[in-house]
Amino acid sequence: YSCWGSEVKNGKNVSFDSVEVESGVESVLLPCRTTESLDGDVKVEWRNGYNDVVHVYQNGSDQPEEQRWNYRTRTKMDENLLKNGDLSLTLRWPFDGDRGIYTCRVYRGGDVLMEKKVQLEVKGQWFRSDVSVGSEPAGTSRTSRY
């Protein structure tokens, strides 16, 4: 599910996408595309609303050492992003704590070439329980929603 909204930034309306998913899905795509020609001299950076580094692509590859630890195994970008302009971020196993505004920025040198915001809404919260329920044997795992 995807829609769009807007915010006022420096007196200008800035549009952004809004993506909504259920907690427990395998992944969600945060969309970001450009029609600009990008070369190997750019840095693509995704940050969350707390300004944590979610994902960095630079010098032709991902830079996991720059990411906040809780995103390192959960994010992925298209391997041909410089050629096809698809800067979208795949976030695996989104949960309630992931909700908020994500910002994709493209830099060349210290200059920002492009900025795109995406609002992520994660609905529901899933958890595992290892307790006996009814006639199920003790230790049986159940996925429940609260």
- Per-residue pLDDT tens digits for 70-124: 999 999 999 889 889 999 999 999 999 999 999 999 999 889 989 999 999 999 8
Residue 41: CA count within 13 A, CB half-sphere: 6
Residue 50: CATH number of its domain: 2.60.40.10
- The type of residue at 55 is H
Closest by CA position to 116, among listed 44, 42, 38, 53:
44
Residues 99 and 96: their CA atoms lie apart, in Å, by: 6
The confidence band for 125, taking pLDDT boundaries of 50, 70 and 90, is low
Give pLDDT tens digits for 12-63: 445 678 999 998 899 999 999 988 888 878 999 999 999 999 999 998 899 9
**Looking at the 3D structure of the chain, how many domains does it have?**
1
133: how many CB neighbours lie within 10 A of its CB? 11
In which domain, by residue range, is 114 found? 2-145
